[in-house]
Chains A and B, each alone.
Chain A
Amino acid sequence: MENIEEYIESGILELYVLGQLSPEEKLQVEEMAAKHTAVRAEITEIEQAMEFYAAAHAVEPAALLEQKINGTLVTNLADDRIFTNGHTRTEEIFEDDELVTDNVVQMNAKSSGFYKYAFAACLALLLVSIYALVNLYNKLQESNTQLTAMQLDKQKIANQVILKDNELDIYRDPSYKVFKLKGTTKSPEALLTLAWSADKQRVVLDMKSMKLPEHDKQHQYQLWAIVGGKPVDLGVFDKPGEADTAGVKEMKSVANAEMFAVTVEPMGGSVNPTLTEMVVAGATK
């Protein structure tokens, strides 16, 4: 116990309160205070005495200063919530008790550095984004073009399938009879395939296998049916062009026919067939 009294008497506690000790000496005093309540109590009494001494020497600062300082601290409070890093930094500086330069200035310097890097990062990100966007846009355009082309193709194929189905239906239907109209003496090589359904009164020409002599642009082929010895007009037709995909052509309807024949007539057809211009003919029986 004598040691403690001696320690207290030495005056080191007064120096501690007055902030006169080195960090190591401070730590020793704090250890002693934690161990011995007498040391702790002595320190508190010294502190209180110095606090009263300071209060007795108090000088009221200018009234305007209060708002200025409180304003600064409240602003700081807002800053703290945003820049927690800045806050811990000042703590570290303070920890080793070396009272250095102003905190506010340091925080500002730190935060402006933060903004600089943040701005640079944003700019870099923006450039990368723009580049990626342009790339993506080009690819999208390309894809769209391909898609349109594919849709056109698909439509073309679908149309062809419908046409082929129609053609197939003709061959499947048992009421259709197929005739091959042979060339006349005028054009022995000519040939035309024709399907006729007496029940449905339909006449269909096979355009693909058609082999008829050439004619000029002022003329067309005209199909005739011979009904009761008299020619009946079944419509005109042309040689199919390169782009023509239709494999068959339906003509006017007829219920009874003894014979079918094709003549070359002026554009639009004639009322009566020009028998000298007959290219193919064939009887139905």
Chain B
Amino acid sequence: MSKKRKISLTEDELVSALRNREKIAVEALYDMYSASLFGVISRIIPDTTAAEDVLQETFVKIWNSFSGYSSEKGRLFTWMVNIARNLAIDKVRSKDFKNQAKNHELENNVTFIDEQRNTVYKPELLGIKELVSTLKPDQKSILDLVYFKGYTHVEAAEELGVPLGTIKTRLRMAILQLRKHFN
């Protein structure tokens, strides 16, 4: 199945199209960010249907609350991924979701998802395997806990049994490592 050509705008173009509530913004938003956002959501919520629901909720929220975004406070993706992560965490912690028998242990999600899904490898980016070799194991585990599992850094410190200061340092080191490779 051949997919239509994806729309790609610069961040400024997309922001102004979203602000003017243009129809093209809807398509561009999806084409440019749905996979990245879905990657985060589906690592928090292993159930595909539930994850897809949250992705939809995320786009609705981005669309409806867009006037709350300001480019002075940060990049568009940072704002969007925080919406996605918070909605996903709300969903995982909600009563009706907990009642579902098919609930997986959060701990195993990251590797579970990576084994199950066909992740999208973009040629200009590093693959996950290379990332794993780039990051030290303790850096990757703290980053994934916070970024992909919805742990607060305080919860992560308890989970890993290390002081809060160490968590902050490790996070910074992990991200510095990523910056070295990406930039």
Give chain A's interface residues, CB within 8 Å of chain B. 9-12, 14-15, 17-20, 30, 34, 43-63, 65-66, 68-70, 72-74, 76-77, 80, 87, 90-91, 93-95, 99-104, 107
Contact = CB atoms under 8 A, between A and B. Distances in A.
A205 B91 CA distance: 113
B125 A73 contact: no
A56 B60 contact: no
Given A54-B81, A72-B56, 19 more contacts: A11-B171, A14-B175, A19-B81, A47-B78, A48-B179, A48-B182, A50-B78, A51-B81, A52-B178, A53-B182, A55-B122, A56-B127, A57-B40, A58-B122, A59-B35, A59-B42, A63-B1, A74-B26, A94-B65
A69 B36 CA distance: 16
B97 interface: no
A63 B34 CA distance: 11
15 contacts: A12-B168, A30-B72, A44-B75, A47-B74, A47-B77, A50-B147, A50-B175, A55-B36, A57-B36, A59-B35, A62-B52, A74-B23, A87-B64, A94-B61, A99-B90
Contacts of A104: 57, 60
A5 to B, nearest CB: 13
A12 B60 CA distance: 30
A59 B171 contact: no
Contacts of A94: 61, 64-65, 68
Contact of B148 (A57, A70, A76): A57
Q: Looking at chain B, what size class is its interface with the partner chain?
A: 35 or more
Nearest to B131: A56
B171 A49 contact: no
Contact of A103 (B64, B153, B169): B64
B77 A51 contact: yes
A57 B77 CA distance: 14
Interface in B57-93: 57, 59-61, 63-65, 67-68, 72-75, 77-78, 81-83, 85-87, 90
